[in-house]
Amino acid sequence: MYNYSKYLTRSCWLEIDLDAIKNNYYELQKMVGPEIIVMPAIKANAYGHGIVEVARALETCKVKYLASGVLHEAVKLRKNGIKSPIMLFVGNNIEEVADLYVRYDLMPTVSSISQVKAISEAAGNKTMKVFLPVETGRGRLGINAEELADFVKQVLAYKNIDIVGMYSHMSCPDWPDKESFSQWQYDRFVGAIRAVEALGVKPEFLQIANSNGSISRPDMRLTGICPGQSMWGYSTIERREPAPDLKPAIKAWKSKLLCVKDTIGGKFGEGFAAVKLDRPMRIGVMAGGMYDGISPHQANGGYVLIRGKKIPVASSICVEHTILDLTDCPEAEIGDEVVILGTQGDYEITIQDLMARWKKSVPEFLVSLNYSIPRVYFEEGKPQRVVCMDESQEIVEAGSEKEG
């Protein structure tokens, strides 16, 4: 028996299945075939799943590249022993900290010659690999497709800069009424690639299809894909054959009852009180609130699971706590498990249920999961590690000599 409660710094935690993440990587690689590079996007703390533990799991899959969002997360990976090549997306302040990209052997995305110059000067005699972002219609960051070849000509003047990848981003790959726009983006990107190849530059990684695009438009995969939400087991498009067998990486989001009390109706609960009562009520307070990522919309008909029952939220969501109506669960006690996301008894609360109530997309939900929530990592069906605010502890089986 494995007991991980003693490792938790808070009574609100996530259970994350690393085997599901590895499965999703393998499924996506199988879908696109061995000739196409799958570069998992693990930005934003691996979409809330914990960037270090996710990267360690993916390294066992022999990934060719990892894609990070900001410099401090990439440095964090290196300081935690991650050896895989790490690309950073466009949007970082490269000129000011170019030396860190060299020191930690990172692959920046460069979108200006001043960035290229800074990396080149910091590298000295070392060759630095870089990626180029291409703007094809998303209206965000990147080099305009029609200007890409001229930009590459300027980059070629820097002999220690090696362009290994170019990428763009589809705006609406899963919108059936926008297929013509997706095709226009793709054609612009391919046209830009051809102009660059005419200069003798042939980057290894060429990508425009995101998670949904790589599934729905196999004709747009080129030489690489950079999956985000599909890595965590989610896709918002209609499944097509052969579809990847994706598995949700979050097994559960749980909490515990911190307080159980009977309240009176009438005047109790006036003013700034958390609960406005018009009747006697048995309430419970669980750990976890807005700071952790629980949406205020959870107060509008939302519920959790306790002792196999649906328990309604009784009030607006507090910063670090949520108040529950235990009237129909009088047997509830302090310390009882509370399921925010997951299964208990005959009931299940899915991420789709929460998304619908909270009015969020999958990425919005995932990245709202705060660092403050301890993560319990499962492999082979067993909890293996707990990470609380970047402190990792191995879980040992109860009664073992290692546990003492």
Q: Which burial class, exposed, middle or buried, applies to 367 when counting CB atoms under 10 A from its CB (0-12, 13-18, 19+)? A: middle
Are the C-beta atoms of 2 and 383 separated by less than 8 Å? Answer: yes
Q: Determine the pLDDT at residue 150.
A: 98
250-394 CATH fold: Lyase, Ornithine Decarboxylase; Chain A, domain 1 (2.40.37)
- 6 DSSP β-pair partners: none
Q: Determine the pLDDT at residue 213.
A: 78
Q: What is the pLDDT of residues 275-325, one digit of tens each?
A: 556 677 899 999 999 999 999 999 889 999 999 999 999 888 999 999 999
- 68 DSSP β-pair partners: 88
Domain locations in the chain as residue ranges: 18-232, 250-394
What's this model's pTM, rounded to 2 decimal places? 0.91
Give the three-state DSSP class for 308.
coil
Measure the CA dihedral 378/381/382/383, to 10°: 20
Spans in the chain with pLDDT lower than 50: 1, 268-273, 398-404
**Quick one: DSSP state of residue 16?**
E
CA distance 79 to 74: 9
Which residue, among 373, 384, 394, 379, has the nearest Cα to 49 in the 3D structure? 373
Q: Determine the pLDDT at residue 241.
A: 52
Q: Determine the pLDDT at residue 238.
A: 57
Q: Determine the pLDDT at residue 223.
A: 97
Q: Determine the pLDDT at residue 183.
A: 87
Cis peptide upstream of residue 108 (ω within 30 degrees of 0):
no
Nearest 5°: the CA angle 64, 68, 69 is 155
State in Å, rounded, how far the first CA of the chain is from the last one. 14
CA distance 269 to 276: 4
The phi and psi torsions of 75 (rounded to 5 degrees) equal -65, -40
Is the CATH number of domain 18-232 3.20.20.10? yes
Give the residue ranges of DSSP H helices in 48-145: 51-59, 71-79, 98-103, 113-123
Beta-sheet pairing, 250-263 with 337-344: antiparallel
